[in-house]
Amino acid sequence: GAGVSQSPSNKVTEKGKDVELRCDPISGHTALYWYRQSLGQGLEFLIYFQGNSAPDKSGLPSDRFSAERTGGSVSTLTIQRTQQEDSAVYLCASSLVGRGLGNTIYFGEGSWLTVV
Amino acid sequence: KQEVTQIPAALSVPEGENLVLNCSFTDSAIYNLQWFRQDPGKGLTSLLLIQSSQREQTSGRLNASLDKSSGRSTLYIAASQPGDSATYLCAPRRDSGGYQKVTFGTGTKLQVIP
Q: What is the pLDDT of residues B2-46, one digit of tens each?
A: 899 999 999 999 999 999 999 999 998 898 999 999 998 888 999
Mean residue pLDDT across chain A: 92
Best B30, B37, B44 member to test A by mutation, with max A CBs in 10 Å, is B44
Enumerate residues 6+ apart whose C-beta is below 8 A from A100.
none
Residues of B in contact with A56 (CB under 8 A): 99
- Which among A56, A30, A104 has a CA at the least distance from the CA of B98? A56
pLDDT of residue A103: 83
Q: Model confidence over A49-85: pLDDT tens digits? A: 998 888 999 999 999 999 999 887 999 999 999 999 9
Taking an 8 Å cut-off on Cβ atoms, the answer to whether B46 and A43 are in contact is no
CA count, 13 A, side-chain hemisphere, A84: 1
Q: Model confidence over B35-47: pLDDT tens digits? A: 999 998 888 999 9
Q: Does B104 touch chain A (CB under 8 A)?
A: yes
Taking an 8 Å cut-off on Cβ atoms, the answer to whether A110 and B43 are in contact is yes
Stated length of chain B: 114
The whole-angstrom distance between A95's CA and the closest CA on chain B is 10
Sign of CA dihedral A82, A85, A86, A89: positive
